[in-house]
Amino acid sequence: MNAWMTHQIYNQVDELQDYNVYETDAVLQEILQRYGSRNRVHLSEFGHVVGSAEYYQYADLANKHSPILHAFDARGRRKDSIEFHPSWHKWMALNRKYAVHAHPFLNFTQQTGWVDWAAKFYLGGQVECGNLCPNSMTLGSIPLIQKESELWKKIGDKLLSTEYDERDLPISQKKSIWLGMGMTEKQGGSDVRANETVAVPVSETGRGQAYLLTGHKWFFSAPMCDAHLVVAKTEQDGLTCFFVPRWLEDGTKNAIHIQRLKDKVGNRSNSSSEVEFHEAWGIMMGEAGRGIPTIIEMANYTRLTCSVGSSAMLRQALVQCVSYTRQRKAFGKYLAEQPLMQAVLVDIALETEAAVQLSFHLAYCYESEDPLCLAWRRIMTPASKFWICKRAVELTGEMMEVFGGNGYVDTGIMARIFKEAPVNTIWEGSGNVMCLDVLRAIQRDRDSIELLFQDLASTVSEDDILNHELQGLFKLFQQSSEELQFMGRSLVSRLSILAQAVLLKRYAPDFVADAFIQTRYSAFHGRVAGMVDITQIDITAILERVLPTTSVHHRGAA
């Protein structure tokens, strides 16, 4: 035997790349057709670029080479500049070109602006998630800035621009800009009312007037954004929202001092920081003393991005698993032919489609001010943010395990997705905050919950399992505030699963909807993926729906 035969490589499978992320996604294409999207050719083009080996490589490099803070120049002057790897700029430029940061607000947007935006966010988020943070915050800031007429005149075109400008310059000199957010302080976390950052008027007080901010932000997202929306308290009015640019109009840097970049578990390509304001200049936004409602309006959009982003992670990890198991052999069979592996894959496939259906239905509801759409948005946005993001944490770990030891190394996308997943459960409000938000919505606006339940009932009336669940939930939601809080996570989880079941019942093939209902409302189903009875499930149809066997050219199987 040749001494080097021990290094012969066979039965090893490369992670999938160089395929069209859009064209291989039957569920997404059905959703876009259902809502009447006219943007599908454009999305196919985007899906081709996103899925290319080139952009997979850029994603890998951007996460290997994390941002570097340059707080001072060589002579000790404050610089507060962050250096990014060129691959980061490739992704930022691509998303800017395709208007991922602003699509619903562009003039050419038709009636499916939010659905088409969700498709772009979902496609790009499957390969590189970190760059979605500035895209998400910029998206959420636009409707707030539009309400400030003078400010919008100055920066509106730059916010909507699809031309990427990476230069660190005053806003007046740039072709396009990004907006970030600064809320979290050490002592408060999600409790923004505990914030201690102070804003003092330069002269006049009130909306549109200039203030000087002094304080500290424990998490300051994407510090290289051109401006941030910041919550600070005023002596006269309490907590208020401010627009705080990084550069002043006279060409000098604003007094925002970056203390350090956060050394995060995942989200490595994106910069998150800790900053101090030393009388930083800012403009009051919104009504005085209404800082929390103003910033929460932005969060309603960014929470939607969390659901869509986590759905993207689930989709990418699932596609990788299906591709891998169709090529990797164990015990004489391909893994995808092994019954226990099939149970795992089918269970996760059902969960993933349910997450995608719910995320996109919510995006559709952002198109309209119809009372039913408003009810879905108000109640199900925090509910889906809680449930989908939680499930992504668990299931990306499960899917990483499919790859064995190869999944648990940082040279592939599976480990990166696994480390990325928790960020969406934490940012824009933790799980408990989301549950409390759902409960508050139900208690403060009984009309909304009744509208939502009526809508769900229109679908579940002929299904005994779903109808029983709906009636049980409706009774539970009648309890007192304290009683509801004790079971908040359980109620929100059940509501999310029911909403997913309803959407699948309405829009998915019967073999998907029936399998989801059977498994989610069965004694067999548990928190561990694969605890399902698959004897009555069309395994082949479900996995073919995930990734058609003829749609990609597999490489690496020997």
Torsion of CA 423, 424, 426, 427, to 10 degrees: 100
**Mean of pLDDT over the chain:** 94
Q: Which residue has the higher pLDDT, 442 or 118?
A: 118
Q: Work out the pLDDT band at 556, boundaries 50, 70, 90.
A: very low
**Listed residue (475, 463, 478) closest to 513, CA to CA:** 463
Instruction: Please work out, in degrees rounded to the nearest 5, the angle formed at the alpha carbon of residue 475 by the alpha carbons of 382 and 389.
Output: 20
CA-to-CA distance for 351 and 496, rounded, in angstroms?
12
Q: With respect to CATH, is domain 178-289 assigned 2.40.110.20?
A: yes
pLDDT in tens, 245-291: 999 999 999 999 999 999 999 999 999 999 999 999 999 999 999 99
pLDDT in tens, 56-88: 999 999 999 999 999 999 999 999 999 999 999
What is the predicted pLDDT for the residue at 132?
Answer: 95
**Listed residue (127, 100, 102) closest to 43, CA to CA:** 100
pLDDT in tens, 155-174: 999 999 999 999 999 999 99
CA-to-CA distance for 386 and 389, rounded, in angstroms?
6
Q: Work out the pLDDT band at 1, boundaries 50, 70, 90.
A: low
Q: Is 191 exposed, middle or buried (0-12, 13-18, 19+ CB in 10 A)?
A: exposed
178-289 shares its CATH topology with 294-546: no
Looking at the chain, the whole-number percentage of residues with pLDDT higher than 70 is 97
Cβ distance 213 to 198 under 8 Å?
Answer: yes
Q: Where are the domains of the chain?
A: 26-160, 178-289, 294-546
CA-to-CA distance for 102 and 140, rounded, in angstroms?
9
What is the predicted pLDDT for the residue at 314?
Answer: 98
What is the predicted pLDDT for the residue at 522?
Answer: 85
Q: Which CATH number applies to 294-546?
A: 1.20.140.10
What is the predicted pLDDT for the residue at 553?
Answer: 56
What is the predicted pLDDT for the residue at 558?
Answer: 34
- Coil, strand or helix at 418: helix
What is the predicted pLDDT for the residue at 480?
Answer: 84
CA-to-CA distance for 141 and 157, rounded, in angstroms?
14
Q: Which residue has the higher pLDDT, 483 or 229?
A: 229
Residue 173: C-alpha distances to residues 86, 160, 177 (Å):
22, 16, 10
Across 125-134, 179-188, 397-406, least confident range: 179-188
pLDDT in tens, 365-386: 999 999 999 999 999 999 999 9
**Listed residue (312, 276, 141, 294) closest to 196, CA to CA:** 276
Partner residues linked to 201 by β-bridges: 211
The C-alpha R_g of the chain, in whole angstroms, comes to 24
Looking at the chain, the whole-number percentage of residues with pLDDT higher than 90 is 86
pTM of the model: 0.96
Partner residues linked to 283 by β-bridges: 210, 243
